[in-house]
Amino acid sequence: MQAFRVLRRPPRASTLAMALCAALAFSSSHAQQGAPVAVQQGEQQSAAVLPGDDFYTFANGQWLAATEIPADRSGWSAAQALVDETNQRIVQLIDDASRQGQGDAKRVATYYGALMDEAGIEARGTAPLRPVLDKIAAIRDKAGLTQALGASLRADVDPLNATDFATENLFGVWIAQGFTDPDNYVPYLLQGGLGMPDRAFYLEENERMSRLRTAYQAHIAAMLKLAGFTEPEARAARVFELERKLAQAHGLREESSDVQKANNVWAGKDFAARAPGLDWKAFFQAAGLGKQKKFIVYHPQAIIGAAALVAEMPVQTWQDWLAFHTINQHTGALPKAFVDQRFDFYGRTLSGTPQLSPRWKRSLAALNAAMPEAVGKMYVDKYFPPAAKAKVQQMVANIVDAFHQRIDRLDWMAPATRHEAHAKLNVLYVGVGYPETWTTYGGLDVKPDDAFGNAWRAAQFHYKLELAKLGRKVDAKEWSMPPQLVNAVNMPMQNALNFPAAILQPPFFDPNGSDAVNYGAIGSVIGHEISHSFDNIGAEFDSKGRLRDWWTKADREHFAKAAQALVAQYSAYDAFPDLKLNGQLTLAENLADLAGLAAALDAYHASLGGKTSPETDRQFFLGYAQAWREKAREASLRNQVATDEHAPAQWRTYTVRNLDDWYKAFDVQAGQKLYLPPEARVRVW
Ligand SMILES: [Zn+2]
């Protein structure tokens, strides 16, 4: 689970998990428009509102009043400002590498340069697409179709670490240790095949979804027309109908989060009987998984449904579907008309973003997805000094200590459960800044005049790297986020955390800044990630990363009761007059916010040696709320409320109302809007 809300990007053939694409793919703005307000971190910003009525505005009022969302964005936040700054630095590094880079640095510069060569891409037109589309057109029967569907699979989802469930390919593949087999890698198969974010977009009966469906079908037709297909409207109608049928078999968003429902181990030979309609042997062969004996079928109903549709629907419909998604996933390397069309639907219509981000930012996002660690290595070498790493490692150690102490103080937890919780903390791997070993890209062929081919080969390269893990020993210290990403993650099966270098900057962390603000901002993020090891999902994995129930019934009951109170607290918030937050969907993240904030405050207090004061606590809480400042467009906020496991930033900051110290620091009184009587404050850890 990552710390930051994932901006809902449309599914695409990314070569990395969603978290990367989310934070970087949308990473673009005009510096002037989104110019950060000069804010003294840890100082109050609005005198017009009482902290007890609206702590978010109290802490961020000045920033909110002065900040406009850049035209090419669906939202703007402290994190996104950091993303922009990081991107500026990376482009400078690429510029240097284009002149004197060697090896992967040269490869990085060439990849980026090919995407920036707009004239070359225009001149080649649809020619780079032709060989791929010709292959699809040459499919004659279900055997050929099966081969093409299998060959199109990529390692493009990550349900646990990145909550990335979406792929436009028929299925998503994730290579990770088995749910109950921490020593061996297993391929996970996830539902896929949709061009809109979730089944709800196809099936929900309301005005907005209905309008989006019409727009999406028009988008399919427009893409096919641009690529030179005859009868694009008729083809689009058939593609849409196929996706609607796929969507009917898809699991609900909430079900995707339930790992117990996902732990379905199927032997390779069982697929034919369990999911008839697809020649699975041939399919897996084409996907490079022919020798694999065991799979985890994450979404069994969707896999069964899709296999049946391969048998049921005509080959021609599937060919059109394959052609459309091939084009749709590669527009970044195609002429402007394709880019504009894609933006018109996914940017403007689906997310409410008025303006396409500039070419360099889109190219950089694609580069970051294609060669994440090559770029990350360049970034870290220049921008992440050892002293910053050491300071964060010390904070991490202090916060881990705070968790140990909190666990000891829990009177409701059974001794055996408590013992395993300590064991989990003891073996927790906390990665700070960058991975222990770097992925290198020596086998990836990158050409200056072949942006499309580069993207195609990079996705294949990544898929092969992932497949190569099958049969190897599990590496619990493997990173799932690149260093240049502004985010953080808890990987429950690995029992590991990553804090990439790029998030370890102000306003989250300033090696020369105040401890109060550092603990409130990055400290609460660190605590958030640690606490995921013990939340409703983390509690399902033991210290070895095995899916195992290590809680007693009474522990669970207590936890569930406290969690229900938090569900109710969040479900009562209105994002809009007609739209409440979903406390159940956001429960794990809200629990992590609560536990993380409390542990960070403990660790901060311990670091002061007991010399706490309301003044320094005020700075701590303001540092926390200011790190979450964010503005989002209405369409984007509505998407987030519907599909994101993170509550929008404003409501995340209201976590403070569950901590007694916040009431003392700001003299919050009964009658104020955020006031909760002591017995109504949620205390889980
Ligand atoms: Zn989280």
Q: How many Å separate Cα 277 from the centre of its chain?
A: 33
Distance CA 619, CA 651 (A): 19
Task: Inform me whether the pLDDT recorded for 25 exceeds 70.
Answer: no
Distance 618 CA to ligand 1 centre (A): 24
Distance CA 544, CA 316 (A): 48
Distance 566 CA to ligand 1 centre (A): 15
Instruction: Enter the DSSP assignment of 480.
Output: S
Band the pLDDT of 33: cuts 50, 70, 90: very low
Distance 348 CA to ligand 1 centre (A): 28
Distance 597 CA to ligand 1 centre (A): 12
Distance 1 CA to ligand 1 centre (A): 5
Least confident of 3-17, 140-154, 572-586, 641-655: 3-17
Distance 674 CA to ligand 1 centre (A): 23
**Contacts of 538 by beta carbon, 8 Å cutoff, 6+ apart:** 490, 492, 531, 532
**Three-point CA angle 352, 65, 22, nearest 5°:** 40
Strands 181-191 vs 294-297: parallel, antiparallel or unpaired: parallel
Distance 531 CA to ligand 1 centre (A): 9
Query: For 397-424, what is each residue's pLDDT tens digit?
Result: 999 999 999 999 988 889 999 999 999 9
Band the pLDDT of 23: cuts 50, 70, 90: very low
Task: Inform me whether the pLDDT recorded for 36 exceeds 50.
Answer: no
Distance 594 CA to ligand 1 centre (A): 11
**Contacts of 55 by beta carbon, 8 Å cutoff, 6+ apart:** 621, 625, 653, 654, 656, 657, 662, 666, 674
Task: Please say whether the beta carbons of 202 and 196 come within 8 A.
Answer: yes
Distance CA 674, CA 656 (A): 9
Distance 4 CA to ligand 1 centre (A): 7
Q: Report, as an integer, the average pLDDT of 94-98.
A: 96
Distance CA 81, CA 32 (A): 11
Q: What is the DSSP string of 429-477?
A: EEEEES-SS----TT----TT-HHHHHHHHHHHHHHHHHTTTTSBP-TT
Distance 253 CA to ligand 1 centre (A): 17
Distance 325 CA to ligand 1 centre (A): 31
Distance 590 CA to ligand 1 centre (A): 8
Query: For 298-351, what is each residue's pLDDT tens digit?
Result: 999 999 999 999 999 999 999 999 999 999 999 999 999 999 999 999 999 998
Distance 137 CA to ligand 1 centre (A): 44
Distance 532 CA to ligand 1 centre (A): 7
Distance CA 485, CA 464 (A): 23
Collapsed DSSP state (helix, strand, coil) of residue 564 = helix
> Rounded to a whole number, what is the largest CA-CA distance in the chain?
77
| Bridge partners, residue 328, by sequence | none
Query: For 379-398, what is each residue's pLDDT tens digit?
Result: 999 999 999 999 999 999 99
Task: Please say whether the beta carbons of 524 and 600 come within 8 A.
Answer: yes
Distance 252 CA to ligand 1 centre (A): 20
Distance 173 CA to ligand 1 centre (A): 22
Distance 368 CA to ligand 1 centre (A): 22
Distance CA 323, CA 345 (A): 18
CB-based burial label for 140 (10 Å; 0-12, 13-18, 19+): exposed
Tokens in use for 630? 């964010």
Neighbours of 214 (CB within 10 A): 12
Distance 321 CA to ligand 1 centre (A): 35
Task: Inform me whether the pLDDT recorded for 37 exceeds 50.
Answer: no
Task: Please say whether the beta carbons of 535 and 591 come within 8 A.
Answer: yes
Distance 595 CA to ligand 1 centre (A): 11
Query: For 459-476, what is each residue's pLDDT tens digit?
Result: 999 999 999 999 999 999
* Residue linked to tokens 């080969």: 457
Averaged confidence pLDDT in the chain: 91
Query: Which residue, among 379, 323, 398, has the nearest Cα to 135 in the 3D structure?
Result: 323
Band the pLDDT of 3: cuts 50, 70, 90: low
Task: Inform me whether the pLDDT recorded for 535 exceeds 60.
Answer: yes
Collapsed DSSP state (helix, strand, coil) of residue 307 = helix
Q: State the pLDDT at residue 119.
A: 98
Distance 529 CA to ligand 1 centre (A): 6
Band the pLDDT of 11: cuts 50, 70, 90: very low
Q: State the pLDDT at residue 534.
A: 82
Dihedral of CA atoms 506, 508, 510, 511 in degrees, nearest 10, equals -140
Distance 499 CA to ligand 1 centre (A): 12
Q: State the pLDDT at residue 9.
A: 30
Where would I find the beta strands (DSSP E) of 445-582? 489-491, 496-500, 574-576, 579-580
Distance 490 CA to ligand 1 centre (A): 7
Query: Which residue, among 87, 85, 48, has the nearest Cα to 64 in the 3D structure?
Result: 48
Tokens in use for 23? 């934070």
Neighbours of 565 (CB within 10 A): 15
Sign of the alpha-carbon torsion through 70, 72, 75, 81: negative
* Residue linked to tokens 């991975």: 435
Question: What's at 544, amino acid-wise?
Answer: K
Task: Inform me whether the pLDDT recorded for 197 exceeds 90.
Answer: yes
Task: Please say whether the beta carbons of 268 and 211 come within 8 A.
Answer: no
Q: State the pLDDT at residue 161.
A: 86
Distance CA 336, CA 46 (A): 44
Side-chain half-sphere of 249: how many Cα atoms within 13 Å? 23
Q: In terms of pLDDT, which residue wins out, 48 or 363?
A: 363
Distance 329 CA to ligand 1 centre (A): 28
Distance 197 CA to ligand 1 centre (A): 20
Q: State the pLDDT at residue 2.
A: 63
Distance of CA 634 to CAs 22, 56, 324, 577, 638, Å?
A: 18, 18, 29, 12, 6
Query: For 338-360, what is each residue's pLDDT tens digit?
Result: 999 999 999 999 988 889 999 99
Question: What's at 205, amino acid-wise?
Answer: E
Query: For 217-232, what is each residue's pLDDT tens digit?
Result: 999 999 999 999 999 9
Query: For 234-286, what is each residue's pLDDT tens digit?
Result: 999 999 999 999 999 999 887 888 888 999 999 999 999 999 999 999 999 99
Instruction: Enter the DSSP assignment of 8.
Output: -
Distance 452 CA to ligand 1 centre (A): 35
Band the pLDDT of 40: cuts 50, 70, 90: low
Least confident of 27-31, 203-207, 300-304, 432-436: 27-31
Collapsed DSSP state (helix, strand, coil) of residue 669 = coil
Distance 365 CA to ligand 1 centre (A): 23
Distance 457 CA to ligand 1 centre (A): 32
**Three-point CA angle 564, 649, 364, nearest 5°:** 130
Q: Ligand 1 being an ion, which residues bring their Cβ within 5 A of it?
A: 1, 589, 592
Distance 161 CA to ligand 1 centre (A): 9
Q: Report, as an integer, the average pLDDT of 126-154.
A: 98
Distance 534 CA to ligand 1 centre (A): 12
Task: Inform me whether the pLDDT recorded for 42 exceeds 80.
Answer: no
Distance CA 83, CA 73 (A): 13
Distance 521 CA to ligand 1 centre (A): 14
Q: State the pLDDT at residue 647.
A: 95
Task: Please say whether the beta carbons of 313 and 243 come within 8 A.
Answer: no
As a whole-number percent, the residues of the chain with pLDDT over 90 amount to 79
Distance CA 669, CA 684 (A): 23
Distance 528 CA to ligand 1 centre (A): 6
Distance of CA 226 to CAs 136, 335, 342, Å?
A: 17, 10, 11
Side-chain half-sphere of 625: how many Cα atoms within 13 Å? 32
Task: Please say whether the beta carbons of 45 and 62 come within 8 A.
Answer: yes
Distance 140 CA to ligand 1 centre (A): 47
Distance 62 CA to ligand 1 centre (A): 27
Distance of CA 140 to CAs 145, 236, 240, Å?
A: 8, 20, 22
Query: For 601-611, what is each residue's pLDDT tens digit?
Result: 999 999 998 78
Number of H helices, E strands in the chain: 31, 11
Distance 445 CA to ligand 1 centre (A): 36
Distance 525 CA to ligand 1 centre (A): 8
Supply the angle between the helices 587-607 and 524-531 in degrees, to the nearest 10.
Answer: 130
Q: Report, as an integer, the average pLDDT of 490-496.
A: 90
Q: State the pLDDT at residue 502.
A: 96
As a whole-number percent, the residues of the chain with pLDDT over 70 amount to 94
Band the pLDDT of 47: cuts 50, 70, 90: confident
Distance 669 CA to ligand 1 centre (A): 30
Distance 506 CA to ligand 1 centre (A): 20
Distance 281 CA to ligand 1 centre (A): 38
Tokens in use for 424? 């989990």
Task: Inform me whether the pLDDT recorded for 429 exceeds 60.
Answer: yes
Question: What's at 625, amino acid-wise?
Answer: A
